[in-house]
Amino acid sequence: MRGILAVLLAAGLLTGTGLAQQMTITKGMSNPNAPIDLSADNMAADQNTGMVVYTGNVIVHQGEVKLRADKMRAKLVGNNPSQIYADGRVVIDAPSGIATGESGVYEVDPRLITLTGNVVLTKDKNVLRGHKLVVNLITGQATLDGSKGKGGRVQALFTPKNDNGSQNP
């Protein structure tokens, strides 16, 4: 999951193109082979369904990226995850900023990330809000939808940097 937040935040916050609902972002994950460290209060596995469920203060570290959620489920095919689901106060924290939502899905093979439910992307004083964010890590394309129903809008607040490179108050 390394680089997930960098990819999400690049979808407008870093490039200033966040006002558009279709955004071009940095391609690829920075280091998808970095070790993954997962901790949780509880874990349950079901060999019949191929699901592993982690509950209670679930924290995943990979490189400089940290993912937190109340619950995570991994669908295994063979011994490898094919889909990873995160539910309940999902927070992706990285040096490039923070992304939050109510739930998220990472589809491993097509390299698609979907974050839904009150999605908020923050970097410094820049904020981007919507309902559903879909990021393709291979093509570098991201789409942020405004709300569940028709007429939903994406909201963005950008704070320009002043002449010395810091953001205005």
The answer as to whether 167 is a domain residue is no
Could you tell me the pTM of the whole model?
0.72
Question: Would you say residue 165 lies in a domain?
Answer: no
For residue 53, tell me if it sits in a domain. Answer: yes
Tokens of 160: 């320009």
- The domain that holds 114 is classified in CATH as 2.60.450.10
What separation in angstroms does the CA of 101 have from each of 37, 119, 131?
Answer: 22, 4, 8
Q: Is residue 162 part of a domain?
A: no
In a domain, 58, yes or no: yes
* Residue 110, CA atoms < 13 Å, CB-side half-sphere: 11
How many domains does the structure of the chain reveal? Answer: 1
Residue 141 lies in a domain: yes
Tokens encoding 103: 């739930």
* Domain of 24, in residue numbers: 4-157
Spatial CA neighbour of 6 closest among 89, 64, 83, 86: 64
Distances (CA, A) of 52 to 48, 86, 100, 155: 11, 12, 23, 36
User: Does any domain span residue 85?
Assistant: yes
Residue-by-residue pLDDT tens, the chain, 169 positions: 333 333 333 333 333 333 333 333 333 345 656 677 889 999 999 988 989 999 999 998 877 778 899 999 988 888 888 888 999 999 988 776 788 999 999 888 887 888 999 999 888 889 999 999 887 777 777 788 887 766 678 989 998 887 776 666 6
The answer to the question of residue 145 being in a domain is yes
